[in-house]
Amino acid sequence: MEKSEVRGQNILFTAVISISIAFLTGFIILAISMVLLKGLPNMIPSILSREIQFAIKLSFLTSVISTLLCIAIAVPVSYGMSRLEFFGKRFVSTVLDIPIALPPIVSGVALLLLFGTTEFGHALAARGIQFIFTPLGIILAQFFVNVPYMIKVLGSTMNDIDPRMEFVARTLGCSRLQAFFKITLPLARSGLMAGIVITWARALGEFGAALMLAGATRLKTETLPVSLFLNMSCGDLKLALAAASLLIIISVLSLFLFEIMGGKQYELSRSSLY
């Protein structure tokens, strides 16, 4: 090849890469700033409105509770998947990943059928545990959709922790339980924090599954995304974009927090962020 031809090819190569990066970055900033430009000026009055205040409170409450539930179940599950060998482990691991692969709206339908049409669901409802069209349903939907992410982030952290650490702790006199709480859990701290941030941010934005299970009732099951949806539908752009701007701000802050946590967990979970 001619010298000039080589040079030309290399320049073209660099150009394609640079343009792709610039294009995508600009595209994202542009799209988001459209919302923020229209939403931010009305933020303060909107936040003061009863509806948005309700949505903020409900979103925070449900997302915090569902995140706590995710921690409670993901910690033992990810530990078990990382440390135990058992028959059918691959099958179980695949099942645990299913909610990630499903469109959230399908998860919502599945939950609706389970709790709405079965004896099990009726029995729970008769005891006052009602998931359909209630805030409880929002929590359940958020939990169902997000728990696999928490398991993934925590699982990769647990895999990185040398099992010999726990073993040494046991030779020093700890029981398995003590070794877990004194050694493994503290060492998994960064993964746990990253998992909490990602799970909570996703729970705040959860829409499809929650919509199916809990419905979209103003001032009852109205989370921030639902508020955005309802107000867009009835043409109240001011409230809709205020809700959207709030969600953007929270998401960007979470992403930023996530970056700070750093490490491998971050790489893994960013790839499975949405």
CB-count burial class (<10 Å; 0-12, 13-18, 19+) for 92: middle
Alpha-carbon span 203 to 212, nearest angstrom: 15
Shortest distance, CB of residue 182 to other proteins, whole angstroms?
8
Shortest distance, CB of residue 263 to other proteins, whole angstroms?
14
Does the footprint of other proteins cover residue 103 (CB under 8 A)? no
| The residue count for the chain | 274
Shortest distance, CB of residue 177 to other proteins, whole angstroms?
11
Q: Would the CA dihedral through 155, 156, 162, 168 be positive or negative?
A: negative
Out of 175, 217, 233, 272, point to the residue binding other proteins (CB under 8 A): 175
Out of 162, 217, 252, 272, point to the residue binding other proteins (CB under 8 A): 162
**Stretch 189-208 residues interacting with other proteins (CB under 8 A):** 189
**Stretch 5-64 residues interacting with other proteins (CB under 8 A):** none
Alpha-carbon span 81 to 95, nearest angstrom: 12
Shortest distance, CB of residue 171 to other proteins, whole angstroms?
4
Residue for token digits 């043409």? Answer: 235
**Residue 59 or 184 having the CB closest to other proteins:** 184
Check: CB of residue 135 under 8 Å from CB of residue 214: yes
Residues binding other proteins (CB under 8 A): 162, 164-165, 167-175, 178, 182-183, 186-187, 189
